[in-house]
């Protein structure tokens, strides 16, 4: 099974070597990849319809509990077949739609990765791998949406989609980690066993919110819906694939998958119903104000997703069945409508509904497919859409909460969906034939056959709903609602209330279709309200974020060395100060001051004075000279306190430094006072505090007993092991010989640098 | 004596930091040198100071018979002195080159961004 899940990845990778074939005349062969996946998984249909759950497990990181566990049950198989089935048609369609496109190979590579990620997402039983595949779909869809990367609006939309869905993925990871913590397993099946503990746990609300955020961002629920219309900038096959069967359905899949774990609580049901209802109404009305075919489809997609969320929220066995049937309905008609839009766009060069008319001549098969697709979307008998709508009304009427309100909302939304479907699928083909479209003829069969196949399926499934009902939907829903009750999906229930509601929907939809005329004036009206839409609010927030982060960065990274140093020093002061504040005990032995000798005091005074002189002298030469004095005072200090090696080294190094300094500096300009006075005072105070802090720190350390194990080791073994009597010497050249070697290397590098800088002769043009 | 040296270390740190915070590059180097001296003194003090007992084993013995100064801080400081000499030499030459190329000793004048140059 792993092979088939990863086939898309393998295919994408192989394009690196096979790009000539994929770009050439044999491009349509790539459709064999999703087709083979479809056939492989279709073989599971029989077993799944018997209620079997097929598992296949591959160890990945067992020590973390992260494994590639794949589960085929009704729900996942339904998604897998949609992904691979519609994938086959999309791959096939693309070979004609983007024929001869420069980057067709890239396109197929992205599509392949996306398809595999999507398959992994719906098949994963492990939450962590689910998250990985989830993010992979976000990333690969980013490339697909931004495929026309020369257009800036396309890039922007892709980025927006990635931002919203990517953030959603992080919420999912959070939920996964907490769930794994509660039930000590990342396996969804195992967590399902412990769903009681999860619901009773204190973090239940938190987990649920995280899952909701992940699902709502991915499935474009209000108020995160705005990335989806933007994503229509993608080439039409991408829109078809992403928005009918895959990407945006992932959120719905997630809620469905989690409903046996987190579901059936007041919070779960009401949140999903409210969000779903707002989304479906809000976007259904937005649909009225669009003239671009793809924009209408985008809003009707969000609307349909709203209905699915809403149905999952109702949460009964019937509602889950309705949701799953509606997923299939939507996938079939939305994919066909998108593909038909692609054909229209391809042939006429416009997607403006106000301009298109009379396309039935020349595009007859497409027109028929469009009409059938619109009928499925409108729920006209005998299509699967009718079955789906029946189930929706049945579940709203039987809902625990406000059945009549919910039914009313559904009728309104469905009527508007009817309108939207007919607007896209029928309107462009009716009406008077236009002069400029007279030369249009039927496109390649690779373009019009895929939508035709899908709408045919829509009718076949409508006439025989048990084909998907008994095999996929009912077994899937049984697991989700933990029941074994039988359920038979039927096309015809007789002239009952639901039938009349359905008729009412179609009537309202038809009236809307004839009364409302899409126009650019309506588009303008809605654009006036754009500034309060969630999209512009988010855009403004991100702008604000940019400004704030710019100021924040400038605060610390302003490019002035002294500023950085001041920041470090302040930070150290705060850290050390806090430590000293916590434990302010310092023992000072004043008696040791009694046996000070004259020369010790003299050295300290010399050091002190020359340090002050170095800092405050206005002459550079004097500063260098007094620095030399400090160095020589150090020599004496080392000599008094038993460090003859140090004294010698300090003496020679200090002499060299002073000579070097003087040699270089006599040519430099006058020692200027650059800084302003208040800055000098500020820095003076800062440095004094820092110095005091260091002094206190040293006194504190000196009042602790000293550990001498390491020193004792060297003292003991210096002669015994290394045959040397000067211990410092032995440490440097024997015990730590490698370190000294590296030190010498550093010196050599510095010497080479100095030599290079001295010898460097700049060319005239570089000198500027 | 430790107390006095601790205070002296503090003074060296303070003056070193102050000099590093100046705008002149030469002062910056002086600051680094002062700070380096301060660090050496700090390490020296943390190993405790011992008068007149260098860590050298007398010729006729194999081990120390008496107390001795801690050799580790000395080894560390020795390394530090040598390395900081390398750093200082390089920095001084760099200042010379900078001045030759840009005719300024002011750090703020070197503050051009890549795209401006």
Q: How many CB pairs under 8 A join A and B?
A: 269
Partner A, chain B 13-52, Cβ-Cβ below 8 Å = 13-24, 26-28, 30, 33-34, 37-38, 40-42, 44-52
Tokens of A607: 């050091």
Q: How far is B44 from chain A (nearest CA, A)?
A: 9
SS3 state of residue A69 = strand
Q: In chain B, which residues have their Cβ closer than 8 Å to the Cβ of A630?
A: 34, 37
pLDDT digits 0-9 by tens, A294-338: 888 888 899 999 999 999 988 888 888 889 889 999 998 899 999
Share of chain A above pLDDT 70, in %: 98
What value does the mean pLDDT take over residues A532-546? Answer: 82
**Element of type H or E holding A448:** helix A445-463
Closest CA to A638 of A687, A80, A630, A340: A630
Residue pointed to by tokens 């102050």: B18
Mean pLDDT for chain A overall: 86
Q: In chain A, which residues have their Cβ closer than 8 Å to the Cβ of B70?
A: 708, 711
Count the Cβ atoms, other than its own, within 10 Å of residue A193. 12
Q: How far is B54 from chain A (nearest CA, A)?
A: 4
CA distance A294 to A751: 68
Task: Note whether B2 contacts A: Cβ–Cβ < 8 A.
Answer: yes
Domain ranges of chain A: 1-263, 265-518, 520-554, 558-587+673-706, 595-671, 710-768
Q: Using the predicted structure, report yes or no on whether residue B114 has a pLDDT greater than 60.
A: no
What value does the mean pLDDT take over residues A105-126? Answer: 90
Closest CA to A339 of A471, A212, A448: A448
What value does the mean pLDDT take over residues B28-57? Answer: 88
Amino acid A265: pLDDT? 87
Q: CB-CB: which of B3, B34, B40 is closest to A593?
A: B3
Amino acid A103: pLDDT? 83
Task: Note whether B91 contacts A: Cβ–Cβ < 8 A.
Answer: no
Q: How far is B32 from chain A (nearest CA, A)?
A: 11
Under the banding of pLDDT at 50, 70 and 90, the label for residue A518 is confident
CA distance A277 to A307: 7
Tokens of A380: 């006209």
Q: Using the predicted structure, report yes or no on whether residue A192 has a pLDDT greater than 50.
A: yes
CA distance A528 to A63: 56
Contact at CB, B59 and A706, closer than 8 angstroms: no
Across A8-17, A18-27, A442-451, A575-584, least confident range: A18-27
CA distance A728 to A712: 13
Amino acid A210: pLDDT? 93
Contact A310, A402 (CB under 8 A): no
pLDDT digits 0-9 by tens, A654-697: 999 888 888 887 777 666 666 678 888 888 999 999 999 999 98
Closest CA to A21 of A105, A132, A126, A113: A105
Amino acid A155: pLDDT? 87
Q: In chain B, which residues have their Cβ closer than 8 Å to the Cβ of A683?
A: 17-18, 21-22
Contact A41, A74 (CB under 8 A): no
Q: Which CATH class is domain B2-110?
A: mainly alpha
Q: Using the predicted structure, report yes or no on whether residue A590 has a pLDDT greater than 90.
A: no
Amino acid B63: pLDDT? 76
Amino acid A762: pLDDT? 61
Q: CB-CB: which of B9, B20, B50 is closest to A642?
A: B50
Tokens of A233: 């900038």
Tokens of A20: 């000539």
Look at chain A and count its residues. 768
Contact at CB, A754 and B107, closer than 8 angstroms: no
Percentages helix, strand, coil for chain B (3-state, rounded to 5) are 70, 5, 30
Domain ranges of chain B: 2-110
Contact at CB, A641 and B111, closer than 8 angstroms: no
Closest CA to A314 of A277, A357, A346: A277
Amino acid A170: pLDDT? 92
What value does the mean pLDDT take over residues A140-164? Answer: 87
What value does the mean pLDDT take over residues A384-399? Answer: 86
């Amino acid at each position: 099974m792993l092979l088939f899940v990863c086939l898309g990845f393998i295919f994408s990778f192989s394009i690196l070597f096979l790009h000539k074939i994929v770009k050439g005349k044999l491009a349509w062969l790539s459709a064999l990849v999703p087709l083979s996946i479809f056939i492989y998984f279709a073989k599971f249909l029989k077993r799944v319809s018997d209620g079997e759950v097929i598992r296949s497990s591959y160890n990945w990181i067992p020590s973390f509990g992260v494994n590639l566990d794949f589960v085929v049950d009704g729900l996942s198989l339904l998604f897998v077949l949609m992904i691979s089935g519609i994938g086959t048609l999309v791959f096939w369609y693309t070979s004609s739609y983007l024929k001869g496109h420069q980057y067709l190979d890239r396109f197929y590579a992205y599509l392949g990765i996306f398809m595999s990620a999507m398959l992994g997402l719906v098949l994963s039983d492990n939450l962590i791998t689910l998250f990985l595949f989830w993010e992979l779909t976000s990333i690969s869809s980013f490339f697909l949406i931004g495929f026309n990367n020369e257009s800036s609006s396309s890039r922007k939309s892709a980025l927006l989609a990635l931002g919203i869905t990517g953030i959603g993925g992080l919420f999912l990871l959070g939920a996964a980690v907490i769930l794994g913590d509660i039930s000590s397993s990342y396996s969804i099946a195992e967590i399902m066993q412990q769903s009681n503990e999860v619901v009773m746990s204190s973090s239940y609300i938190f987990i649920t919110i995280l899952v909701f955020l992940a699902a709502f961002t991915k499935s474009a629920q209000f108020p995160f819906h705005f990335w989806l219309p933007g994503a229509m900038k993608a080439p039409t096959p991408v829109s078809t694939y992403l928005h009918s069967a895959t990407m945006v359905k992932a959120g719905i899949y997630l809620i469905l998958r989690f409903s046996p774990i987190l579901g059936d609580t007041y919070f779960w049901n009401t949140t999903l119903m409210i969000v779903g209802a707002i989304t479906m109404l809000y976007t259904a009305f937005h649909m009225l104000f669009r003239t671009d075919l793809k924009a209408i489809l985008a809003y009707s997609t969000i609307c349909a997703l709203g209905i699915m969320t809403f149905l999952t929220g109702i949460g009964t066995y019937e509602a889950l069945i309705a949701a799953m049937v509606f997923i299939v309905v939507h996938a079939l008609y939305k994919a066909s409508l998108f593909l038909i839009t692609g054909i229209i766009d391809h042939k006429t060069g416009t997607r403006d509904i106000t301009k298109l008319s009379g396309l039935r001549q020349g595009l007859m098969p497409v027109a028929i497919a469009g009409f059938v697709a619109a009928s499925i979307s409108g729920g006209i008998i005998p299509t699967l859409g009718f079955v789906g709508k029946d189930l929706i009304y049945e579940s709203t009427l039987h809902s625990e909460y406000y059945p009549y309100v919910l039914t009313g909302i559904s009728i309104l939304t469905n009527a508007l969906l009817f309108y939207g479907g007919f607007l896209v699928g029928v309107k462009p083909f009716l009406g008077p034939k236009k002069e400029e479209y007279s030369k249009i003829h039927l496109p390649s069969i690779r373009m019009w056959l895929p939508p035709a196949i899908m709408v045919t399926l829509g009718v076949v499934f409508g006439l025989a709903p048990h084909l998907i009902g008994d095999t996929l939907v009912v077994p899937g829903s049984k697991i989700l609602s933990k029941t074994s009750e039988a359920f038979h999906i039927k096309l015809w229930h007789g002239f009952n209330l639901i039938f009349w509601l359905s008729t009412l929907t179609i009537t309202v939809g038809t009236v809307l279709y004839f009364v409302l005329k899409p126009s650019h004036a309506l588009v303008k009206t809605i654009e006036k309200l754009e500034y309060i839409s969630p999209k512009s609010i988010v855009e403004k927030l991100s702008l604000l974020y940019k400004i704030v982060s710019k100021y924040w960065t400038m605060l610390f990274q302003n490019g002035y060395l002294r500023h950085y140093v001041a920041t470090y020093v302040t930070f150290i002061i705060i850290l050390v100060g806090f430590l000293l504040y916590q434990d302010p005990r310092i023992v000072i032995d004043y008696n040791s001051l009694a046996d000070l000798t004259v020369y010790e005091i003299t050295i300290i005074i010399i050091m002190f004075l020359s340090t002050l002189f170095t800092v405050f002298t206005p002459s550079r030469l004097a500063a260098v000279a007094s620095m030399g004095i400090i160095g020589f005072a150090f020599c004496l200090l080392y000599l008094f306190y038993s460090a003859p090696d140090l004294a010698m080294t300090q003496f020679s190094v200090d002499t060299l430094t002073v000579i070097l300094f003087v040699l270089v500096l006599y040519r430099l300009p006058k020692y200027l006072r650059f800084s302003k006075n208040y800055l000098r005072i500020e820095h003076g105070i800062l440095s004094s505090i820092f110095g005091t802090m260091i002094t206190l720190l040293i006194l504190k350390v000196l009042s602790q007993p000293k550990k001498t194990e390491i020193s004792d080791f060297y003292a003991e073994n210096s002669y015994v092991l290394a045959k040397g009597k000067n211990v410092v010497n032995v440490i440097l050249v024997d015990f730590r010989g490698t370190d000294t070697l590296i030190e010498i290397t550093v010196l050599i590098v510095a010497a080479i640098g100095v030599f290079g800088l001295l010898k460097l002769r700049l060319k005239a043009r570089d000198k500027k | 004596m430790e107390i006095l040296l601790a205070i002296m270390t503090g003074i060296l740190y303070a003056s070193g930091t102050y000099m590093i915070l100046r705008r002149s590059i030469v002062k910056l180097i002086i600051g680094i040198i002062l700070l380096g001296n301060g660090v050496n003194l700090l390490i020296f003090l943390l190993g405790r100071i011992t008068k007149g007992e260098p860590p050298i084993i007398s010729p006729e013995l194999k081990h120390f018979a008496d107390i001795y100064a801690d050799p580790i801080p000395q080894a560390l400081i020795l390394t530090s002195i040598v390395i900081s000499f390398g750093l200082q030499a390089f920095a001084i030459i760099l200042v010379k080159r900078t001045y030759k190329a840009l005719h300024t000793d002011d750090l703020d004048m070197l503050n051009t961004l890549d795209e401006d140059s």
